[in-house]
């Protein structure tokens, strides 16, 4: 019998099941008890389907690497017949799907026991998770006055609180890495198209969005990525093929790497001193592991990329709203202020602007590819420019969508690093390697060249072995 999932990772829980020391039902009971005890304070788990979970156990779980481990999927994407969704929005509340998505089918085949969804901002737009449809913000288990991040903020909070050992997320501008940084977890964004999008989408946000996972350990992410990677039927494009896979990569050292370190933003602006010191400390750790660490900063056009990202996501948000409302403007009782602002912004764009913005994103990707081709193997930065923000600071109430994203106090100023690698399609990861003076997690960000997922995750595993973070527990985790 297990009383609490605690700080165990999913691999350890699966091993307990395989040895017969605990049953899938006992693990599910522990997760459900944790939801009851902890979720009221953090508001991370929604749309629970306990009956579906118990039925899956009774019918026999697949003999996958995570057989019997409780699991949660994000309330955005990851379409599944047995799991209705709100997509973070009152407009899409209780949407039911007719078939399972490819990513959900592959997740299910690992043997996990999915029992609910986790909160997301409306349409996945934002670095916080404070959607009206959930009746209140999602809070950080390390300090309830602060955000757990976004858009996979519910996933990050649920894992950090010890409700589950890992959870599904997705990342279109940092939405796995930002909650990983905010909640003291590991978050990895694979190379563009490494994971399937179908059949409900050909690509997300012009290829910038991709699924991912919030985990306690590098090994959990590696095994889950191996289980889910590869195109689905009819995928419009595919990622470069892997070698032996992520799990094999973490068992061997990455070799001596050239690491570029940037303790400012990509435009040279200062970041919070505690965050900058976490970056420098990681640089010193990498030097101690034998890597060559030197200052580096990409000479890529970040402002143009950010505006292109803003326009693409604005058009995507408007298209989603249009699927429900047709051509009429959305009302305040239907969607959040930021989404109404995105809809209004999309109406101001020239019909050719979307393709122009996609071209700018592609040009930025070539600039970043040139940086890695002529420079470091890996780039080290912060994940966020400061520790986790307080709840309410980025509440999605404003209708000034452009300022919300690109203004001097906007989201890009708070998160100036992550979206660059959604635009370039390159793999990137947030590692929980720093702490603020008041006890909040600080994530450190690593990125590699396009297709070099195995090299990057190998380095992440080497860092984890040298400076372990698995086992640290947020106050909400008991």
- Active site (catalytic) residues: 74, 151, 175
**CA atoms of 435 and 336, how far apart (whole Å):** 33
Question: H or E stretch including 428?
Answer: strand 428-435
Question: H or E stretch including 181?
Answer: helix 177-183
DSSP-derived 3-state class of residue 3: coil
Q: What is the maximal distance between C-alpha atoms in the chain?
A: 62
**CA atoms of 66 and 223, how far apart (whole Å):** 9
**What does the radius of gyration of the chain's CA atoms come to, in whole angstroms?**
20
DSSP-derived 3-state class of residue 260: strand
Q: How far is CA 440 from CA 147, 275, 308, in A?
A: 11, 11, 32
**CA atoms of 140 and 183, how far apart (whole Å):** 7
- What is the bridge-based pairing of β-strands 186-189 and 428-435? antiparallel
Contacting residues for 255 by C-beta, under 8 A, at least 6 apart: none
Q: Which of 380-409 are b and which e, b meaning 16 or more Cβ less than 10 Å from the residue's Cβ?
A: bbbbbbbbbbebeebbbebbebbebbbeee
Q: Which two tokens stand for residue 407?
A: 């203004």
**Secondary structure of 92-148 in HEC code, one letter for each residue:** CCCECCCCCCHHHHHHHHCCCEEEEEECCCHHHCCCCCCCHHHCCCCEECCEEEEEC
């Amino acid at each position: 019998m297990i009383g609490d999932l605690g700080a165990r990772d999913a691999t350890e829980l699966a091993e307990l099941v395989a040895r017969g020391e605990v049953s899938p039902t006992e693990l599910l009971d522990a997760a459900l008890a944790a939801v009851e005890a902890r979720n009221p304070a953090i508001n991370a788990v929604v749309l629970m389907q306990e009956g579906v979970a118990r039925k899956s156990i009774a019918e026999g779980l697949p003999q996958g690497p995570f057989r019997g481990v409780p699991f949660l999927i994000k309330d955005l994407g990851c379409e599944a017949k047995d799991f209705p969704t709100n997509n973070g929005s009152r407009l899409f509340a209780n949407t039911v799907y007719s078939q399972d998505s490819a990513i959900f089918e592959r997740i299910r085949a690992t043997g996990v026991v999915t029992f609910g969804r986790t909160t997301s901002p409306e349409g996945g737009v934002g670095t916080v998770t404070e959607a009206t449809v959930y009746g209140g913000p999602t809070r950080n288990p390390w300090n309830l006055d602060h955000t757990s991040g976004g858009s996979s903020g519910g996933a990050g909070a649920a894992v950090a609180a010890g409700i589950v050992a890992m959870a599904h997320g997705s990342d279109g501008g940092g939405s796995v890495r930002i909650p990983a940084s905010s909640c003291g977890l590991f978050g990895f964004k694979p190379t563009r198209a490494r994971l399937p999008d179908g059949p409900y989408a050909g690509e997300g946000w012009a290829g910038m969005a991709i699924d991912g996972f919030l985990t306690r350990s590098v090994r959990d992410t590696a095994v889950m990525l191996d289980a889910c990677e590869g195109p689905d039927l009819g995928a419009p494009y595919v990622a470069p093929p892997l070698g032996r896979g992520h799990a094999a990569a973490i068992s061997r050292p990455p070799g001596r790497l050239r690491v570029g370190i940037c303790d400012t933003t990509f435009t040279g602006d200062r970041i919070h001193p505690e965050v900058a010191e976490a970056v420098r400390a990681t640089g010193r750790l990498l030097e101690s592991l034998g890597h060559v660490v030197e200052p580096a900063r990409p000479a890529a056009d970040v402002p143009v990329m950010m505006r292109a990202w803003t326009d693409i996501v604005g058009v995507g948000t408007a298209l989603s709203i249009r699927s429900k409302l047709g051509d009429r403007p959305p009302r305040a009782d239907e969607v959040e202020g930021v989404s109404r602002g995105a809809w209004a912004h999309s109406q101001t764009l020239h019909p050719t602007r979307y393709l122009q913005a996609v071209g700018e994103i592609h040009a930025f990707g070539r600039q970043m590819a040139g940086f890695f081709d002529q420079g470091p193997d890996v780039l080290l930065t912060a994940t966020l420019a400061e520790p986790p923000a307080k709840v309410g600071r980025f509440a999605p109430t404003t209708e000034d969508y452009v300022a919300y994203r690109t203004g001097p106090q906007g989201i890009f100023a708070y998160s100036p690093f992550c979206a660059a690698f959604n635009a370039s399609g390159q793999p990137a990861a947030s590692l929980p390697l720093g702490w603020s003076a008041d006890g909040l997690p600080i994530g450190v960000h690593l990125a590699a060249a396009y297709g070099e997922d195995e090299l990057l995750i190998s380095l992440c595993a080497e860092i984890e072995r040298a400076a372990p973070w698995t086992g640290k527990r947020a106050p909400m985790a008991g």
